[in-house]
Amino acid sequence: MRFTRRQFIKASMAMSAASAFPSIWWRAQEAAATLDPCETGVNLVILHIEGGNDGINMVIPKSDGTGHNRGEYDTVRTPGGINIPAGSLAATQIANDPLHTGELALHPHMTGLKALYDAGNLAVMCGVHYPNANLSHDVSSNIWYRADPGLVGPGSGWMGRTLDTLCAGGSSSAVPAVDTDGQMTPLFYGNTSVFAFDSLSDLVFPISDAVKNAGLGTAYKDSFSNICSNAVNGGATFLKSIGATGSAAADKVDAYHTANEALAVNLNGLRNGTLPFGVPGVPQRFSLSRKLRTVFALMKGAQPGNHPLGCRIFRVGIGGFDTHSDQGGYTSTPINTKVQTSFPGEYHGMLMHQIDRALSAFWADVQADATLKGTTVIMTFSEFGRRVEENGDHDQHSGTDHGTAAPQFVIGPKAGESVIASHIVGGVYGAYPELDNLDEDGNMVFQLDFRHIYGEIINRWLGVSATTTKSILGNYDYLTDPNSANFLT
Amino acid sequence: MADITPADWNYQTAAHLLLRAGFGHSGRYKKSTGEATQVRRLANLTPEKAVASLLTMGTSKVRGPGSLDTGDDKFATLQLWWLNRMITGLHPLREKMVLFLHTHFATARSKVTKPLYMSTQNALFRELALGDFRELVKRVTVDAAMLWWLDGYLNKNGKPNENYARELQELFTLGVFDFNNQRNYAQKDVTEAARVLTGWRFLEDKGKVVVEFRNTRHDHGEKFIYQSQAGETTQNAANLIHIVTNFTPPENEYAALVDGIFTHLDTEGQPTAARFLARKLWKFFAYDPVVTTDTARTDLGVIDALANVLVTSNYSLGAALNAMFLREEFYADATRTVKGPTEFVVGSVRMLRGKLGGSTRENVGQDLLANMGQELLNPPDVFSWRGNLSWITTQTMLLRYNFASDLAAGDKSRNSDVGHNVSSFLDPHATTRAQVVDRFLTLLCVFDIDTATRNELIQWLGPDDSALDLGNPDYVETQVRGLLSLILTLPLYHVH
């Protein structure tokens, strides 16, 4: 039996066992019978902070509490090194450490996220990681992507498995997710087609002028598509992948491009620095802003009634966090001057600023859009945190080596804002690891299992049943984990 | 599990060897048959002689252009220089090996911002491309670009920086896990190795880069690497590297560490570094014999055979390549793998005898390959490019199609051009569409094409053979160049 290309994609998606769809999908189906389960509903943006983020300098102990954390912090992270002074933290203070009562604050450059925190849209998870930490970037990233601390399960990603569940029984060749880096990460490995690209303007199917002018453009594209179908139907694994990717390109790309042309203009404006997006003020020329702008454009394109696109899950990365050296501390230079001079002495602070600006601008864009408002959750993660004690001479060249636990952010609509019953409850969760009570390698002891965060997201935000969520997480039952968070109701 | 036999050696296997052990044939072909002359010559030899002919070359100390000036354009000059060596150089295998070593010891201009550092490292890879890998690891350890990239220059007595010590073991020699899924080393081994590596730094003097060892920055204390820990059973006691207090001369301590690492045995008693390198060589040049990285073990046979060659030849890369290129697995259909962007671009330009063009050096040297996911001298991180299936995304494939279209159309202003009139590839006596199609397929080393796809290409040239109009320039510009473009986008063309 020969499949057509579309049938093949459908068939490959149907290979994973269909389970009961959450009510949100059925409601959407009823409202617009032509929509695919993949093609509407809520959105999720996963931000990978790449290289191992120094979480201690993102959510910072402001006072001791019973954990003695500020005192220990000042001992091992020195002024002139990577120390963020307690005195600079007043404006970004959040709730106390739930376990040890010490005061906590976001990095002083995270004023945008502090505003989201105050508004009840930001949940801060402290001390998140997994048992038997691995300090390799690659291994630990894979553990996070697969939600598999022992790397003993299937090689698929936790989101790949989630998509296989959500999109099972789909009726078209919807592509429900985009990895906004050029290369596909294992997060999405599974049976469901996922796009990977970082710029909308690259999305045009190329046909030479000579062929176009001779009126043969359509014939050329047809030949190309048929050849891809042949590979999908009969080729070896790699050929199938190339064929399927080629098909998706020829099929979907022009639709993406057209539907988002207006937004692509905005994207260019952002790139040139002529259009600050979301929040007024500092122009956002850095790549995370551009990527999130692309995500925004794609989310717009995926709205019901305008759905050639069908994306709702996005992975976005921001690199540069492997701060073994020259990590920087905090200077009192006004922020505008810092922006102009690229944050001398505050390398990690600059990255914190970029995350803050980009996320709050993206959030503001989503809020300003009548149809997207209340549909979107953002979660951050990093493959690991960093060593508690700074390395080197306790000077401007000091950095931190690989570590373990780190905080995670989840941003989303609170009660009354969400389009579905589930919503974010802002606040501080987990427990801040005791900085003077480390493991044998000088690293923090994790407090909250990362699969718990995934579990709430999969079950409560994406609406997968608790049973299936448990199976997606390799039989880890987040509901029975005593260190629960409940940041999503 | 054997070497390829002369009976199985033919035009197709010879073409396959040239694709994998380089970037395809030289683009010269015999007018009457359409066969590439280089492929035919190899096919007429025995496999041993064919492989030996590729490996026969002197040592090269050539270094690309690079100064201490920073800037994209300065790097573009170096990147373009290297690309052109791959395209037109006499020893594409050498440049392929330089690419492997660059992938292995991934160092990026994103941090090492001065071309001289990168061109010096690139020249080191070229010099030892077929040489002693242990020696290369030692040279890389005190290479200025590497000291900069992984913070070795900040690693000093009492203030260790673990960055290089970790990657040396994880990525350059041992790997985190062995094939039995046991850890090869512990965090303490990283810390101890970092102490061994203290004292090295680089400085610039009169336009040159100098690497020096500073005795006062070195930790002269006693170190134990791979010491069995209490309650831990996986580390082989014989793996212990013991560096005595006041080791002399202290500037050779790093070499003792590297030698020690190469005697490390995994929990199956096999040479860890040799197995690790063997797998990486197979993975880069052919396919990954291990299906999933962490648990499944599929084809340890080819890995151990190559590891054995490495150990008995004192880690000669040339000997390893020779053994690998002769294995029958190297030619098996099942081991097909996705061409990387460099392999795709360089191979296409080489085999069509085209030229890289573009309005600026940055267009060609950086943007073209960067957008396909592989800017040379700028891997995404120390893990390098992930390779294989990760090359294939909608975006990167579109950019490959774009390049194919430009190359076939001879659009010089964009990326490239075929260098001369596409008609010169044609057989003037061709009377059928199939002849035209087959000639291009042979030229571009596309074999085993399925009938439906071949028919699709034939149909593109017209509804029947009477439509063939090779004397008509318009027909050549649209249909023939369009055919070339379609072949360059065939899924089959993107694997080798």
Rounded Cα gap, residues B155 and B146, in angstroms: 13
Rounded to an integer, the average pLDDT of A9-31 is 26
| Contact criterion met (CB < 8 Å) for B495 and A242 | yes
Same domain flag for B428 and B311: no
| Contact criterion met (CB < 8 Å) for A202 and B371 | yes
Rounded to an integer, the average pLDDT of B432-455 is 96
Q: Is the peptide bond between B249 and the residue preceding it cis, with omega within 30 degrees of 0?
A: yes
Domain boundary among B335, B361, B388: B335
Given this model, what pLDDT does residue A258 score?
61
Asked if A282 reaches chain B (Cβ–Cβ under 8 Å), the answer is: no
* pLDDT tens digits along A168-199: 754 344 567 888 876 678 898 877 767 776 66
Rounded Cα gap, residues B134 and B264, in angstroms: 13
Q: What total number of domains does chain B contain?
A: 2
Same domain flag for B120 and B264: yes
Length of chain A counted residue by residue: 489
Rounded Cα gap, residues B358 and A419, in angstroms: 50
CATH 3.40.720 is right for the domain spanning A31-203+260-480: yes
Given this model, what pLDDT does residue A277 score?
55
Residue A339 pLDDT greater than 90, yes or no: no
Residue A307 pLDDT greater than 80, yes or no: no
Confidence of residue A283 (pLDDT cuts 50, 70, 90): low
Smallest Cβ distance to A325: which of B154, B166, B404?
Answer: B154
Domain boundary among B312, B335, B358: B335
Mutation to test the A interface, candidates B169, B394, B422, most A Cβ within 10 Å = B394
**Is the CB of residue A177 less than 8 Å from the CB of residue A187?**
no
Asked if B139 reaches chain A (Cβ–Cβ under 8 Å), the answer is: no
Please choose, from the candidates B27, B5, B126, the residue with its C-alpha nearest in 3D space to the C-alpha of residue B407: B27
* pLDDT tens digits along A252-279: 666 666 655 655 555 555 555 555 555 5
Structure tokens at A108: 């002083």
Please choose, from the candidates B214, B213, B216, B170, the residue with its C-alpha nearest in 3D space to the C-alpha of residue B189: B170
Mutation to test the A interface, candidates B393, B446, B475, most A Cβ within 10 Å = B393
Mean of the per-residue pLDDT values for chain B?
A: 91
Confidence of residue B322 (pLDDT cuts 50, 70, 90): very high
Full 3-state SS string of chain B: CCECCHHHCCHHHHHHHHHHCCCCCCCCECCCCCCEHHHHHHHCCCHHHHHHHHHCCCCCCCCCCCCCCCCHHHHHHHHHHHHHHHHHCCCHHHHHHHHHHHHHCCCCCCCCCCHHHHHHHHHHHHHCCCCEHHHHHHHHHCCHHHHHHCCHHHCECCECCCHHHHHHHHHHHCCCECCCCCECCCHHHHHHHHHHCCCEEEEEECCEEEEEECHHHCCCCCEEECCCCCCCCCCCHHHCEEECCCCCCHHHHHHHHHHHHCCCECCCCCEHHHHHHHHHHHHHHCCCCCCCCCCCCCCHHHHHHHHHHHHHCCCEHHHHHHHHHHEHHHHCHHHCCECCHHHHHHHHHHHCCCEECCCCHHHHHHHHHHHHCCCCCCCCCCCCCCCHHHHCCHHHHHHHHHHHHHHHHCCCCCCEECCCCHHHHCCCCCCCHHHHHHHHHHHCCCCCCCHHHHHHHHHHCCCCHHHCCCCCHHHHHHHHHHHHHHHHHCHHHHEC
- Of A162-166, A357-361, B255-259, the least confident: A162-166
Is residue B114 one of the residues assigned to a domain?
yes
For chain A, domain boundaries: 31-203+260-480
Asked if A399 reaches chain B (Cβ–Cβ under 8 Å), the answer is: yes
* pLDDT tens digits along B132-168: 999 999 999 999 999 999 999 999 999 899 999 999 9
Given this model, what pLDDT does residue A300 score?
72
* pLDDT tens digits along B92-129: 999 999 999 999 999 999 899 999 999 999 999 999 99
| Contact criterion met (CB < 8 Å) for A208 and B163 | no
* pLDDT tens digits along B470-484: 999 899 989 999 999
Residue contacts between A and B (CB atoms, under 8 Å) = 203
Rounded Cα gap, residues A449 and A428, in angstroms: 15
Q: Which domain holds residue B433?
A: 422-494
Smallest Cβ distance to B405: which of A155, A203, A207?
Answer: A207
Given this model, what pLDDT does residue A4 score?
27
Rounded to a whole number of angstroms, the distance from the CA of B294 to the nearest CA of chain A is 7
- Of A42-46, A200-204, B53-57, B333-337, the least confident: A200-204
Please choose, from the candidates A368, A384, A324, A365, the residue with its C-alpha nearest in 3D space to the C-alpha of residue A348: A324
Smallest Cβ distance to A151: which of B295, B390, B395?
Answer: B295
Residue B393 pLDDT greater than 80, yes or no: no
A197 contacts in chain B (CB < 8 Å): 393-395, 398
* pLDDT tens digits along A220-258: 999 999 999 999 888 677 788 888 888 877 776 666 666
* pLDDT tens digits along A349-377: 999 999 999 999 899 888 888 878 898 99
Full 3-state SS string of chain A: CCCCHHHHHHHHHHCCCCCCCCHHHHHHHHHCCCCCHHHCCCEEEEEEECCCCCHHHCEEECCCHHHCHHHHHHHHCCCCCCCCCHHHCHHHEECCCCCCCCCEEECCCCHHHHHHHHCCCEEEEEEEECCCCCCCHHHHHHHHHHCCCCCCCCCCCHHHHHHHHHCCCCCCCCCCEEECCCCCCHHHCCCCCCEECCCHHHCCCCCCHHHHHCCCHHHHHHHHHHHHHHHHHHCCHHHHHHHHHHHHHHHHHHHHHHHCHHHHHHHHHHHHCCCCCCCCCCCCCCHHHHHHHHHHHHHHHCCCCCCCCCCCEEEEEECCCCCCCCCCCCCCCCHHHHHHCCCCCCHHHHHHHHHHHHHHHHHHHHHHCCCCCCCEEEEEEECCCECCCCCCCCCCCCCCCECCCEEEEEECCECCCCCCCCCECCEEEECCCCCCCCCCCCCCCCCEEHHHHHHHHHHHHCCCCHHHHHHHCCCCCHHHCCCCCCCEC
| Contacts with B155 (C-beta within 8 Å, 6 or more apart), sequence order | B161, B163, B164, B165, B194, B197, B198, B199, B200
Rounded to a whole number of angstroms, the distance from the CA of B287 to the nearest CA of chain A is 11
Is residue B308 one of the residues assigned to a domain?
yes
Asked if B151 reaches chain A (Cβ–Cβ under 8 Å), the answer is: yes
Smallest Cβ distance to A224: which of B371, B399, B486?
Answer: B486
| Contact criterion met (CB < 8 Å) for B394 and A137 | no
**Is the CB of residue B294 less than 8 Å from the CB of residue B181?**
yes
**Shortest CA distance from A150: residue in chain B:** B294
A402 contacts in chain B (CB < 8 Å): 162, 166
Given this model, what pLDDT does residue B130 score?
98
Given this model, what pLDDT does residue A290 score?
80
10 Å CB burial of residue A14 (0-12, 13-18, 19+) is: middle
**Is the CB of residue A408 less than 8 Å from the CB of residue A388?**
no
Asked if A155 reaches chain B (Cβ–Cβ under 8 Å), the answer is: yes
Rounded Cα gap, residues B107 and B118, in angstroms: 8
Rounded to an integer, the average pLDDT of A338-359 is 92
Rounded Cα gap, residues B489 and B407, in angstroms: 11
**Is the CB of residue A231 less than 8 Å from the CB of residue A237?**
no
Smallest Cβ distance to B409: which of A195, A198, A210?
Answer: A210
Residue A393 pLDDT greater than 80, yes or no: yes
Given this model, what pLDDT does residue A18 score?
23
B156 contacts in chain A (CB < 8 Å): 392
B388 contacts in chain A (CB < 8 Å): 238
| Contact criterion met (CB < 8 Å) for B166 and A208 | no
| Contact criterion met (CB < 8 Å) for B456 and A242 | no
Rounded to a whole number of angstroms, the distance from the CA of A423 to the nearest CA of chain B is 34
Same domain flag for B185 and B281: yes
Given this model, what pLDDT does residue B166 score?
96
- Look at strands A195-196 and A177-179 and give their pairing: parallel
Confidence of residue A336 (pLDDT cuts 50, 70, 90): confident
Rounded Cα gap, residues A424 and A42, in angstroms: 13
Confidence of residue B429 (pLDDT cuts 50, 70, 90): confident
Residue B214 pLDDT greater than 60, yes or no: yes
Other beta carbons less than 10 A from residue B328's beta carbon: 16
Structure tokens at A324: 């073994």
Q: Is the dihedral of CA A70, A71, A74, A76 positive or negative?
A: negative
Rounded to an integer, the average pLDDT of B170-190 is 92
**Shortest CA distance from B183: residue in chain A:** A134
Structure tokens at B32: 């009457």
Structure tokens at A92: 């970004």
B185 contacts in chain A (CB < 8 Å): none
Is residue B75 one of the residues assigned to a domain?
no
Same domain flag for B328 and B223: yes
- Residues of B (270-299) whose Cβ lies below 8 Å from A: 292-295
Domain boundary among B316, B335, B354: B335
Rounded Cα gap, residues B225 and B235, in angstroms: 11
Structure tokens at B326: 């002769």
Is residue B355 one of the residues assigned to a domain?
no
Asked if B398 reaches chain A (Cβ–Cβ under 8 Å), the answer is: yes
Given this model, what pLDDT does residue B243 score?
96
* pLDDT tens digits along B290-301: 764 444 456 788
Rounded to a whole number of angstroms, the distance from the CA of A196 to the nearest CA of chain B is 5
A180 contacts in chain B (CB < 8 Å): none
Higher per-residue pLDDT: B399 or B49: B49
B293 contacts in chain A (CB < 8 Å): 142
Is residue B386 one of the residues assigned to a domain?
no
| Contact criterion met (CB < 8 Å) for B486 and A401 | no
B401 contacts in chain A (CB < 8 Å): 205-206, 246, 249
Q: Above pLDDT 90, what percent of chain B?
A: 75
Report CA B51 to chain centroid distance, whole Å: 18
Rounded to a whole number of angstroms, the distance from the CA of A116 to the nearest CA of chain B is 32
- Of A164-173, B3-12, B315-324, the least confident: A164-173
Asked if B205 reaches chain A (Cβ–Cβ under 8 Å), the answer is: no
**Shortest CA distance from A252: residue in chain B:** B394
Asked if B150 reaches chain A (Cβ–Cβ under 8 Å), the answer is: yes
| Contact criterion met (CB < 8 Å) for B159 and A391 | yes
B459 contacts in chain A (CB < 8 Å): 223
Length of chain B counted residue by residue: 496
Asked if B340 reaches chain A (Cβ–Cβ under 8 Å), the answer is: no
Please choose, from the candidates A363, A408, A356, the residue with its C-alpha nearest in 3D space to the C-alpha of residue A383: A408
Distances (CA, A) of B210 to A230, B105, B194: 57, 20, 21
Asked if A244 reaches chain B (Cβ–Cβ under 8 Å), the answer is: no
Rounded to an integer, the average pLDDT of B195-218 is 96
Rounded to a whole number of angstroms, the distance from the CA of A197 to the nearest CA of chain B is 5
